[in-house]
Amino acid sequence: MKQALRVAFGFLMLWAAVLHAEVRIEITQGVDSARPIGVVPFQWAGQGAAPEDVGGIVAADLRNSGKFNPLDRSRLPQQPTSAQEVQPAAWSALGIDAVVVGQVTSNPDGSYQVAYQLVDTGGAPGTTLAQGSFKVTKQYLRYAAHAASDAVFEKLTGIKGAFRTRIAYVVQKNGGQFPYELRVSDYDGYNQFLVHRSSQPLMSPAWSPDGSKLAYVTFESGRSALVVQTLANGAVRQIASFPQHNGAPAFSPDGSKLAFALSKTGSLNLYVMDLGSGQIRQVTNGRSNNTEPSWFPDSQNLAFTSDQAGRPQVYKVNINGGTPQRIT
């Protein structure tokens, strides 16, 4: 009996060890402190005050990334206006190994020339690591600043910058005839503009890959409808307005298709529209709820959430047919 108990106890200990082994936390990267960097106010060459603080925008971008900590302007050891004027020793003494300088020039035709240089003050002192120049109108000065930030960020981190991206969001105001507004702005909240306003809820905005269109859900017809709006001219195209649920839009990476979820047959299932022909095909089928489509880079496969196993899990399916494969 004691031998049997020892064997049983041994199996229990082994099973506990196996269960314990399944719960594993692996830390692959520590938390890095923000890298100090110098961003000098860009030199202004024009009448009156500069229309935008381009250098300040670049500094804010780099700070917002969490990767960099721009030196406060009151602590700048010098204020060079070009790469040639940068004194590397003055910056390296403060622990700064890279400095951004630039110029904003007013052109006779009313446009502006924005130039920047990223100067090494550490490893190869005085070397220009990156530089660029943009001719823009006044309304695109912030965009030029974000472009400079992207170039600096990518050069110093090896990661593509995202400071020129925009965000789409829905605002609900108190009162008024149209309390729901779909808006777009730069990533930092500037340059916002109204896309659409409605007396009924607006939901789930999704960008086209080229940033020219937004898909979203509206309830203006009394039930949910999925539409695509072109930002340049405001044109609206209705994609789906079936009974019950129409939602979760997602553009394919190549921009040719739109995936979404419909519940016209009872349960939620995934569908894909060819935006060129307008043809809709059903991708999933069954009594389970399948939603939240997200495209793979090949524009042929979807990741999605399904409760077909009893609780929500992530699956993969080819839009041309086949059995969904469970991922999680």
* Span 253-268, pLDDT tens digits: 999 999 999 998 888 9
Sheet hosting strand 180-186, strand order edge to edge: 166-172, 180-186, 193-198
Global confidence as pTM: 0.80
Structure tokens at 153: 């960020």
Task: Give the Cβ contact number of residue 238 at 10 Å.
Answer: 12
d(CA 182, CA 320): 33
- Per-residue model confidence as pLDDT tens digits over 7-64: 344 444 433 443 444 445 555 555 568 999 999 999 999 999 999 999 999 999 999 9
d(CA 22, CA 32): 29
CATH class, domain 35-157, is: alpha beta
Q: Tell me what pLDDT residue 96 has.
A: 98
Sketch the domain layout of the chain as residue ranges: 35-157, 166-326
**Residue 286 contacts residue 304 (beta carbons within 8 Å):** no
Place of tokens 């994609």: 239
Structure tokens at 178: 């149209």
35-157 and 166-326 share one fold:
no
67 contacts: CB under 8 Å, gap ≥ 6: 32, 34, 35, 153, 157
Nearest to 309 by CA among 293, 319, 324: 324
| Three-state DSSP class for residue 201 | coil
d(CA 253, CA 208): 8
d(CA 96, CA 55): 17
Return per-residue pLDDT of the chain as tens, 328 residues: 444 434 344 444 433 443 444 445 555 555 568 999 999 999 999 999 999 999 999 999 999 999 999 999 999 999 999 999 999 999 999 999 999 999 999 999 999 999 999 999 999 999 999 999 999 999 999 999 999 999 999 999 999 999 999 999 999 998 889 999 999 999 999 999 999 999 999 999 999 999 999 999 999 988 999 999 999 999 999 999 998 899 999 999 999 999 999 998 888 999 999 999 999 999 999 888 999 999 999 999 999 999 988 889 999 999 998 889 999 9
Residues composing the chain:
328
Fold of 166-326: Neuraminidase (2.120.10)
